[in-house]
Amino acid sequence: MKSYLKYPLWSVCATIWQTLCFLVPYFIGSPSEGLYGIMAIIAYVLACGIGIFGVIYFTGTSRYLCALYLPLSALLGAVLSFYLVGYHTTLTPMLIDATLHTNIEEAAGVISWQLILWVIINISIAIYFVWLRWTKISLHKEWVHALVSIVLCSLYFSCNQRLHNSLVQRFPYNIPHVLHEYISLKQTMQEERSISPYQVMETPDSLTIVLILGEAARADHLQLNGYERATTPRLKKRKNIVSFPHIYSEQTHTLASLPYILTRADSLHPQRQYTEASFMSIFRKEGYQTSWISNQDLGSTFSPFLNECDTLIFANAGKSEYVFTQWLDEEMLPILHKLMPTDESNALFVLHTIGSHWYYNNHVPETMQIFQPVTTNKVVTGNSIEQIVNSYDNTILYMDYFVDSVITSLEQKKAILIYQADHSEALGEDGEYLHANDTEMAKHPACVVWYSDRFAKAYPQKIEKLIANKDKRYRTDYVFYSILYAAGIEGEGNTPDMNIFM
């Protein structure tokens, strides 16, 4: 073989090894029915594989850098791929945080001989490629190869935003990306914010308040609001249920919408989301046990508010929307039950659900996928409108089950529960799908309020107003003032237009 072909061939072979062992596991279980779906998966693997080739080609230009990078990447890639296949867990900022706070006994419980063997095999392969590079390949003008590879990698990495997103969520780019994200989020969570002025009107005892942050739930797909399908059969049978079908969200994705729910930020005062604390700080200051239980990714815009709680728990720290595995909200229920106070103390719980996030089927148990046929392709347009709507409606049916389960744990308490989705979802109207776009269908989120008999007896006037207001129009920024008012706290700027209990 000609000498100038040896190094490119070595790089290709090393890329094939890492692609098969460390990249393909990200696509295991990815829905890919039909030729279109299979070709889409192959295209994704090849696109990400080219990204691996760029890194290997660059690091291989220096024998010393190659000797450092290949064994290290083999170690990290083997560990990540093992837990991806065996535990359906991928690298996320929440997983890093959980790992750093794990004791030796817990860590030992997830280390097995299979993991050790897989690591040894891949490090051995890496050492073999290093040996080939040192003994069989001579590269002239290494700096030229390195410079060319940097330029080509930079162009490839930035040529398309969708490709960029795929690369940074998968090996090996996800390692520096997630580490940087973790450090940035930690710094953001430590930011100092002011608590907005408020006054305590009444001091309740043994009051439990639950805010469930829904994800992409449409108001017009709730049976409670007249939808023709039985998507909320459990809540429909419940007493003390009030649905608000006319809530409006100007923001159509989670990062933008949550600050408007958690703080006094609104369309007239958007800057408050950057300078003020959320209502959780007020509750905590007034002696409430405050807990945030999350089944979502950690976002930069709302991460500072999580640090205001006494307790922060991620139910699925290793889940990612880029890995198509089952990811259910019910996994938050045991945590909620464990944290639920048994004495007369006051408590606030915020449950951040994965809800109706794409890929819909992953967020619903198979036993509750009632509406058929469901989607079979992770590419939205690879499914029919009927499949998309069926899968979406199954998520609403599962939301109904989840919210009803939370209510069951509150029935005997003096309690109020607010379910508010962060935004809505487009389901093919005008050719638009999902959210994070400016379509009108993504701006009408579902909202449901439940109150216990004890709460109604203690605060009859609030319940009377709540029921009277059910057909009024509110923006999602009503939550800040309403949840405080439910606890007898008057936030500055509170008006009937901002408060469902007034």
Which residues touch 135 (CB under 8 Å, ≥6 apart)?
none
Q: Are 484 and 490 in contact (CB under 8 A)?
A: yes
CA distance 392 to 380: 12
Query: pLDDT at position 103, please?
Result: 66
Q: Where are the chain's structural domains? A: 3-188, 204-498
SS3 for 314?
A: strand
Phi, psi of 414 (to 5 degrees): -80, 100
Query: pLDDT at position 186, please?
Result: 83
pLDDT < 70: residue spans in the chain: 1-4, 102-103, 105-107
Superfamily designation of domain 204-498: Alkaline Phosphatase, subunit A (3.40.720.10)
Sheet-wide strand order for 207-214: 241-243, 447-451, 414-421, 207-214, 347-352, 289-294, 311-314
Query: pLDDT at position 3, please?
Result: 61
The C-alpha angle with vertex 355 and arms to 350 and 359, in degrees rounded to 5, equals 145
CA-to-CA dists, residue 363 to 71, 84, 327, 329, 355, angstroms: 37, 18, 5, 7, 7
Q: Which two tokens stand for residue 21?
A: 């062992």
Query: pLDDT at position 4, please?
Result: 67
Q: Are 224 and 448 in contact (CB under 8 A)?
A: yes
Q: Using CB atoms within 10 A of its CB, is residue 227 exposed (0-12), middle (13-18) or buried (19+)?
A: middle
Query: pLDDT at position 198, please?
Result: 95
Range 344-347 contact pairs with CB under 8 angstroms and sequence separation of 24 or more:
344/205, 344/206, 345/206, 345/287, 345/289, 346/204, 346/205, 346/206, 346/207, 346/208, 346/286, 346/287, 346/288, 346/289, 346/487, 347/207, 347/208, 347/209, 347/288, 347/289, 347/290, 347/291
Query: pLDDT at position 201, please?
Result: 94
Q: Which two tokens stand for residue 110?
A: 């997830």
pTM of the model: 0.88
Query: pLDDT at position 45, please?
Result: 92
CA distance 425 to 308: 30
Query: pLDDT at position 1, please?
Result: 60
Which residues touch 270 (CB under 8 Å, ≥6 apart)?
none
Query: pLDDT at position 106, please?
Result: 64
Amino acid at 376: T
Give the residues across from 490 on adjacent strands: 199
CA distance 269 to 5: 62
| HEC profile of 58-79 | HHHCCHHHHHHHHHHHHHHHHH
Detail the DSSP E strand segments found in 353-455: 414-421, 426-427, 433-434, 447-451
